[in-house]
Structure 1
Amino acid sequence: MQTLILTLHIIVCVLLIILVLLQSGKEGMGVIFGGGNTSVFGSGGAGGILAKLTTLMAVIFVITSLSYTYVTSSRPSSESTILNVKIEEPAAPKTNTVPPAQSAPAAPTGQSAPVGNQDAAPAGQ
């Protein structure tokens, strides 16, 4: 049912655009097609025919718009995609997992920490 209404709605939209663009201005319909002062739809002009068709397409457009809105919004709440969203729990922040044996010893105050390998013997010994 939704596809039928939507297909009809798209067709009516295209026809309505065409009919609005074909509406005559002060010059007449012949100017649009390069005919000068001659009228494409006869001596009476196309005002009556195009105006009636445009009104009909506008009415069908409104009906299909409201019908499609009603059909698509009338589904049960159990099928709603918003209510079925699973909210993920935030991940716990990672803590520093370095064992105490691998951590560098604190430097005494007033002295800088030695740079390099601490287990190596001094060069003079």
Structure 2
Amino acid sequence: MKPKLLLVDDDQLLREVIGDFLSSHGYEVDLADNADSALEKFEPGKYQLALIDYMMPGMNGLELMKILLKQDPKIFCLIMTGYPTVDSAFQSVVDGASDYIVKPFQLKELLNTIGSYI
């Protein structure tokens, strides 16, 4: 059975490129363009990892992550951001993120990071 991921990013091109790349490397990936769409798809136990953009319109990635972790404490959450600061990295980890990755990143780096959790 393929590991199942939830990828949440408001950037359509990035979402599709990452989704296709991860699918080609043995992951089953569901895509969501915002937090509301992600919550509609989410069910506890359905995903091993959520890959979540930090900055999105409406609910941001940390708010979404808190909801997902409350519903499924076993899920790994990886926060992606193009706006890195020490505070945002620290807050992500304090709030329960398994890891934090800065955009732009190499797809191989993402693959290695995900592989270290599932």
Q: Give the alignment's TM-score, normalised by structure 1.
A: 0.19
Structure of greater Rg: 1
> More helix per residue: 1 or 2?
1
